[in-house]
Every structure is written in structure tokens, then in C-alpha cells.
Amino acid sequence: MNSTELWLEALMQIIPDETRIFTDRADLYSYSYDASFGTYLPEAVVQPKATEEVSNIMKLANQYEIPVYPRGQGTSLSGGPLPVKGGIVLDFSQWNDKLEIYPEDMMAIVAPGVLTADINNAALKEGLIYPPDPSSSNVSTIAGNLAENSGGPRGLKYGVTKDYVLGLEVVTPEGEVIRTGGRTVKNVTGYDLTKLIVGSEGTLGIITEAILKLHPKPEATATLMALFADLVAAGQAISNILRAGIIPAKLEMMDKACIEAVEAYEPQGLPTDVEALILIELDGHPQAIHDEILKVEDVCRETGATEVIRAKTEEEAAQLWRARKLVSPAIVRHKPTKISEDATVPRSKIPHMFQRLKEIRKKYDIDLVVFGHAGDGNLHPNIIADKRDKEEMRRVEQAVGEIFEAAVELGGTLSGEHGIGTLKAPFMEMELGAAGVEMMKRIKQSWDPKNILNPGKIFPEPGQRLVLTDD
């Protein structure tokens, strides 16, 4: 037998259930892509359902030096689960047999393949919430969210995935099983491996169980939309709301191009002659948010809002949010390829970032729309293109590079919530410097000396540059 036949046979010893191992080309193809760019065929796919299985697979992978890629539901926008160097994909989507809520400890313990929205739904039955709400939460797995440290609109008030992780069970790249953190809110025993592994994009360990922090469900919510004839005024309104001591649960914005796209796709009655709209949701005590929403309205009017719409019922609130939800389907209507960026800047620099994005749109003659979580500086400049048009994609690649430059120059970051993966790896040194990347690499090397676990992510290969085609 050759080496591949040998390790495949050993793999079948570890997973004694042939329905959980795939080696047919048609099956492998389903695991060759995610929601970003590029297709790469693995040699095998396994659906683990126990920590020991994962541990044994990693020991085997080290023995034969086979790359291993953990994968949830493949919703990554940065290439996290792509099997870029062949080898084994571990599909965790079927391992979802544990979802325990501990109301007394305001805590949940979950298996890696549980869908994020299911955790929130289970918490709600106990009067609690799991706050992180990436837009993929109905389809993405919790371990995928953990690996990427997913954000979402509620990040402004509640923080991101990392802020809700108390402890993990992790299989190391060499197959050891460790527990990090625990069931307590405070823990300073040694290095914070929990927060090191969350956001490490599956390169430092495989998450097989997570202990999550829950939060009491807010008593009430209030929603408001404000329209602005001027982009800078919208940015100033956001800043003034926060300066007034109000932290909304969500504070989203959409630019003129988004509004036009939505109105063309499914008319919501929004005026298309404004430059931007902001959408605000407050939550908390009913009296507190009643007072605060009036204050928000005043601030918006004082800062130059042309119109302010306050939802009077839950239906009206849902209607206002519908415009925001329609942005993604609306913008891909005239061209099939959406490049969704998440460059993030300090809040005070949002107007500057708008200006830079306007210049980039003009310079490279690209379809660029801007929406996102403006309250925390996490914008989503989206470029709409057609990946079959090579010339256009070259311009897009250059524009994306310049978006990253702008974010970093304004004191911001390449990625607020989507991760680095394969796509942004070439830009790491721009933000972190050679020494910063080097210190990260040392951790990776000390944990995974044979570079078995999710190779080709985060750290750029020599000469690697951004490629937004599937070739």
C-alpha cells in the first residue's frame, strides 16, 4: 500500500462508521470551497462525533504529515476551512448532540456543530440570550464562530463571540486534549488559552466543546431610522449618540448605493435622494429606552437628519430592519460576485473612511456600496463584480488592497469580524509589522511543529498576493 492508502485505512479504524468518511470525488467537491474564493479538493472528509476521534485523527495526521482542516458549515468569508494543501477535512456540522443551558450560572455548554441561532433560542426559553449574532447565525456552527471570533450587529453593546467564551475543550495540533478556562466568569490561572484559540481560525487547536456565557434577555427594545442628506452628518450623529451616554444594541448604516439597490430590488418606500441612513435598536428597561429613543431622535435632528422614523409597534420595527436585511440580496442582483470586506476603523474616523472609500470607488471604477456596524467602526464596504471578468477583478484586487491601507492608516484593522484566512494573509505585515507576525508564527510553530493543522491560513506564503478568482 502507498502512504495515502495506509493512512486512509488507519482513518477507518479510528472512525468505525463508513457513513462518516468520504473519499469519492463528488463528495470531496462539496468540501472544496466556502463563501470566499478558491476551490481545493481534499483527499478525505471525516465527520467526527467524539473528542477521542479528533485526538486520534490528529495523532495519525502527525504520523503521516497530512494536513487537517476543521470545518463548520463553510460560511467563512475569508477562506478559513479551505483545504488549500489537500489532506483531511473534518466536518463538524453533524456533531451537535449537546446543547445544555445552565440558568443558575447563566451559561451554556455546547457541542461544536450546534448552530449559533439554536443556542440563542434555547437560552431564550430561560429568559436569557446568547448575544453574538453574525448574519450567518441561522446556518453557521458555534465552533466556526469561535474559530473566527464572529461579530455581528450586537457587537456594539454586547461585544463579540470572544466575549462570551468561558472555557473550551480543545484538541491540540498534536492530538492532546486540553481544557482551557472553565465555568467561572473570572479566571486568571496561567495564560488565557481560551482567547488565544478563539479567533485563531482553526490553526492552533480544534474546538470540541465550548462553555459560553449568557446574558439576561432585555425587557424591551426600541427602533429608530434616521435619514441624512450628508454622509459626514450621519457619521457625526453616530458619534453624538454615543457621546450622549447611550449605547444602542445595534447601530447600523447604509449608504445611498445600498438604499438605491434595495429600492430597485424590493421597494421599501425609502427616499433615494438621501446620502445615508442609520438604523438604531436600543434595548433594556422600558422606561430607560423610552427616554433614550427620544434623546436619540433629538440628537439625529440636531445633527441634520432630514427625517426620523420611530417604530411604534414591533411590526413597524421589523419593517424598518427589513431594508437592512435586503441589502445583501439586493446588491448582487446585477452582478454575481460580492466581495464583502470588514475593514474596521476607530469610530471617530468613520467620516474619513467614507471619504477614502469614495476616492477608491472612483479611482478603480468599481461598484462599491457601504453598509455595516457603524457604531463600532466596523464597516462593510462591498464590491460587486463578476469574477469571470478578469480585467474587472484585477481592479477589484487593487481596490481591496487600498481599502486595507486606508483602514490601517486611519488607526484601524484589516478585519473586524471576518478573519484573515487565505484572503487577507498577504496584508498581515502591513498591520502588524514583521515582528508582530513573527511572534504569532512562533506560537503556531511551538504548538504545531509539523504545520499539520489548517496550514496556509493567516500567515502569508512567500510572495503571496490577493487573488479573487477561483483559478
Query: Within 85-144, which residues bind its own copies (CB under 8 A)?
Result: 102-107, 127
Residue 445 interacting with its own copies (CB under 8 A): yes
Query: What is the 3-class SS of the chain, one letter each residue?
Result: CCHHHHHHHHHHHHCCCHHHEECCHHHHHHCCCCCCCCCCCCCEEECCCCHHHHHHHHHHHHHHCCCEEEECCCCCCCCCCCCCCCCEEEECCCCCCCEEEEHHHCEEEECCCCEHHHHHHHHHCCCEECCCCCCCCCCCEHHHHHHHCCCCCCHHHHCCHHHHEEEEEEECCCCCEEEEECCCCCCCCCCCHHHHHCCCCCCCCEEEEEEEECEECCCEEEEEEEEECCHHHHHHHHHHHHHCCCCCCEEEEEEHHHHHHHHHHCCCCCCCCCCEEEEEEEEECHHHHHHHHHHHHHHHHHCCEEEEEECCCHHHHHHHHHHHHCHHHHHCCCCCEEEECCCECCHHHHHHHHHHHHHHHHHHCCEEEEEEEHHHCEEEEEEEECCCCHHHHHHHHHHHHHHHHHHHHCCCECCCCCCCCCCCHHHHHHHHHHHHHHHHHHHHHHHCCCCCECCCCCCCCCCCCCCCCCC
Residue 278 interacting with its own copies (CB under 8 A): no
Residue nearer to its own copies on the CB measure, 389 or 429 = 429
Residue 52 interacting with its own copies (CB under 8 A): no
- Residue from 9, 17, 27, 219 touching its own copies (CB under 8 A): that is 219
CB of 432 to its own copies, least distance (A): 6
CB of 94 to its own copies, least distance (A): 26
Residue nearer to its own copies on the CB measure, 268 or 451 = 451
- Residue from 123, 345, 369, 406 touching its own copies (CB under 8 A): that is 345
Residue 390 interacting with its own copies (CB under 8 A): no
- Residue from 66, 168, 193, 257 touching its own copies (CB under 8 A): that is 193
- Residue from 77, 251, 406, 420 touching its own copies (CB under 8 A): that is 420
CB of 285 to its own copies, least distance (A): 3
- Residue from 271, 329, 336, 436 touching its own copies (CB under 8 A): that is 436
Q: Interface residues for its own copies in 170-189 (CB under 8 A)?
A: 172, 176-180, 182-189
User: How many residues at the interface with its own copies, by CB under 8 A?
Assistant: 92
Sole window of 20-28, 40-48, 135-143, 412-420 interacting with its own copies (rule: CB under 8 A): 412-420
Residue 418 interacting with its own copies (CB under 8 A): yes
Residue 204 interacting with its own copies (CB under 8 A): yes
